[in-house]
Amino acid sequence: MTSFASVGETEEIQRVVLIGFSGTGKSTIARTVAGVLDWTAIDTDRAIEIVATKSIPEIFAHDGEAAFRALERDVLLHSLRSRWAVIATGGGAVVPEDLWTAETLRAPGTFTVCLDAEPPTILDRLLRQQAITSETIERPLLAGDDPLGRITALKADRQAAYDRADLTLVTDTMSLDEVSQQIAALIASSDSPDVVLNAPGGRSEIYVRPGISAVVGSLAAEKWPRARKAFIVTDSNVGQLHEESVRTSMEAAGLVVEDITVAPGEASKSWATAGDVIGQMLDKGIQRTDIVVALGGGMIGDLAGFAAAVVLRGVALIQVPTSLLAMVDSSVGGKTGINYATGKNLIGAFYQPALVLADPNLLRTLPPRELNQGWSEVIKHAVIQPSTPDHFRNDLFRFLERNRANLTGLREPAITYAIRRNVALKSSVVEADEREASLRAILNYGHTIGHAIEAAGYEYLHGEAIAVGIRAANRIARLQDRIDDALEKRIGDLLTAYGLPESARFDTELVKAKMKSDKKSAAAVQTWVVPAQAGGVQLVTEVDASHVDQALDFVRSD
């Protein structure tokens, strides 16, 4: 079994350096992560006190801040030579830029994690810490009458240094234990799936790790020992890049491989192509015990998933998503289907893939525009998070704000972590409501107008249309006074920061007609998913026609 154990391109992680402001839990998390991994925990503040044989407040008082910083630097440089260590650093330790070199904090095998928290959370934690221990590292922060102001200003000052981390985790609402487990899970190897989705319609075991697609054969053979053949359904773009490694892995596990390649593009999500794919499966002798592998983006996942659901009344399905959109969204949850002339996904089945193998390495061949569009479903998840069973974490929006460069650069381990969290969030929604009787409808945030723009036949990718749909839904929420200007701007800014469009060219009447024929409005009343000021989204059926027109005007470019 492959495990996640690298940072950057190839280097195995040998040390974790926890950075961030005081009060973000670095020392406790270092101890817990080290305990889980059976590594050593190093606390640079404690090490300084041992070297200086006095407490940090005493060093500040007797020797001054410059002496403290020099000592802190020496201790940090010394700690960075350790292997199999989790190092908790002082709040200001990593600020000097010259510590971020390939010999120091960016050395091969060094994984820097910033623990982030909002200033009020930090103040609260420091006050509690002081009450318990009567000792805080940056005690001057708490002195005087505006500690919150001082924390806010100092954190802002240091933010550029903190943002150099390989991964920033938002810790305000997560327990220190959960943060520790998440960090350890990025390093420790495990045979268990990263996420398990248990829905009434079936169980999905989901692995999200670099290199996992190359071991699909052994996982399949273990799960379905009676399988004889694997039918790999792919499109010609993905096929020429990634099919060979999947085929080799299947053959090494003793399976006979049949491949079925369709033309790339949404047009293949059709009745005709589905008929052809199912026909090929039958002609090639598919049996009930055989396996279908959907190797591709969301189009292939939906098409091959539908074929697997109906051929011989259902055969085993493995999703190997290859686009970002498919990894974070379409491969998880069991919706499969094809389009019809009057709308998208009007024919299909709920059919859970027993295995989903998301391999972030495959994203490296994805064309930039295709990668970009995937972020819209990620941002959708971040906005809806407070309305999902994952609500108590409520961290994904700030996580996306803080980690943009590492995520859009597909840097490890940030990208693996982000996909895992998105998959877990979507799974939690699907587990609560597999058939979209209620909660699952919140996943349609941005889709009412987004799908209509797509169905109207414009040259926009799914995620691009959804981004425009999200902006339009936000506008409706603003017009209804459900959100303020600041929240509308914050969501819009995040979409823009991830390279998503602000508007689209379309004919308003055509898009309105498509909205009516889309199946989500089949119940006569259109349900809108709009953001709420307190966080999360609401389902709304009462929207003035004039507000819909204004929202469409808002996102239409001429």
Ligand X SMILES: NC(=O)c1ccc[n+]([C@@H]2O[C@H](COP(=O)([O-])OP(=O)(O)OC[C@H]3O[C@@H](n4cnc5c(N)ncnc54)[C@H](O)[C@@H]3O)[C@@H](O)[C@H]2O)c1
Selecting among 426, 475, 478, 514, the annotated active-site residue is 426
User: Pick the catalytic residue: 138, 444, 478, 520?
Assistant: 444
**Which residue, 264 or 389, has its beta carbon nearer to ligand X?**
264
**Rounded to the nearest whole angstrom, what is the least distance from the CB of residue 325 to ligand X in the complex?**
4
Annotation says 440 is catalytic: yes
Nearer to ligand X, 226 or 364 (CB): 364
The answer for residues whose C-beta is within 8 angstroms of residue 557's C-beta and 6 or more apart is 502, 503, 504, 505
Token pair 């971020």 in the structure block, residue: 100
Catalytic one among 81, 83, 226, 313? Answer: 313
Identify the active-site residue in 15, 164, 247, 335. Answer: 335
Amino acid at 149: G
Tokens of 2: 């492959």
Whether 58 is catalytic is no
Residue 521 DSSP symbol: G
- Distance from C-alpha of 412 to C-alpha of 113, rounded to nearest angstrom: 12
Residue 396: which of 378, 414, 415, 409 has the closest Cα?
Answer: 378
Residue 264 or residue 536: which is nearer to ligand X going by CB? 264
Phi/psi at 369 (5° precision) = -70, -35
| Host H or E run for residue 311 | none
**Is 547 among the catalytic positions?**
no
- H or E element, residue 269: none
Q: Smallest distance, Å, CB 531 to ligand X?
A: 19
CB of 544 to ligand X, least distance (A): 29
Q: Which is nearer to ligand X, 350 or 399 (CB)?
A: 350
Which residue among the candidates 462, 478, 482, 514 is catalytic per the annotation?
Answer: 462
For every residue of 152-186, DSSP letters joined together read HHHHHHHHHHHTTSSEEEE-SSS-HHHHHHHHHHT
Catalytic site residue from 155, 381, 398, 447: 447
C-beta of 495: minimal distance to ligand X in Å?
16
Dist. CA 422–CA 448, nearest whole Å: 21
Is residue 451 part of the annotated active site? The answer reads: yes
Nearer to ligand X, 92 or 298 (CB): 298
**Residue closer to ligand X, measured from CB, 323 or 427:** 323
Cα separation, 480 vs 474, whole angstroms: 10
User: In the annotation, is 335 catalytic?
Assistant: yes
Residue 370: CB minimum distance to ligand X, A: 4
> What is residue 210's three-state secondary structure?
coil
Which residue in 377, 431, 434, 454 is the catalytic one? 377
Question: Which lies closer to ligand X via its Cβ, residue 123 or residue 425?
Answer: 425
At its nearest, how many Å lie between ligand X and the CB of residue 214? 14
The residue annotated as part of the active site, out of 440, 471, 475, 514, is: 440
The three-state secondary structure class of 360 is helix
Is the separation of the CB atoms in 201 and 350 below 8 Å?
yes
In this complex, which beta carbon is closest to ligand X, that of residue 352 or of residue 474? Answer: 352
Q: Shortest Cβ distance from residue 150 to ligand X (Å)? A: 46
444 is catalytic: yes
Q: Which amino acid would we find at residue 486?
A: A
Q: Identify which of residues 437 and 545 has a Cβ nearer to ligand X in the complex.
A: 437
Smallest distance from ligand X to CB 113, Å? 28
Measured in whole angstroms, how far is the alpha carbon of residue 35 from the centre of its chain?
Answer: 26
User: What whole-number distance in Å separates Cα of residue 188 and Cα of residue 368?
Assistant: 31
Q: How far is CA 280 from CA 220, 284, 325, in A?
A: 21, 6, 27
Query: Which residue is nearest to ligand X, using beta carbons?
Result: 298
242 is catalytic: no
List residues near ligand X by CB under 6 A. Answer: 235, 237-238, 241, 264-266, 269, 296-300, 302, 322-323, 325-326, 329-330, 333, 335, 344-345, 362, 365-366, 370, 461-462
Q: Tokens in use for 206?
A: 């989901």
Q: Would strands 6-7 and 40-43 be described as parallel, antiparallel, or unpaired?
A: unpaired
Least CB distance to ligand X at residue 189 (A): 25
Among 26, 155, 242, 451, the one annotated catalytic: 451
Instruction: Extract long-range pairs of 432-437: CB within 8 Å, 24+ residues apart.
Output: 432/389, 434/199, 434/200, 434/201, 434/333, 434/334, 434/350, 435/201, 435/350
> Is residue 197 classed as helix, strand or coil in its secondary structure?
strand
Distance CA 83, CA 209 (A): 23
Query: What are the Cα distances from residue 381, in Å, to 195, 206, 355, 377, 495?
Result: 16, 18, 22, 6, 12
Whether 462 sits among the annotated catalytic residues: the reply is: yes
Active-site residue list: 313, 335, 377, 426, 436, 440, 444, 447, 451, 462
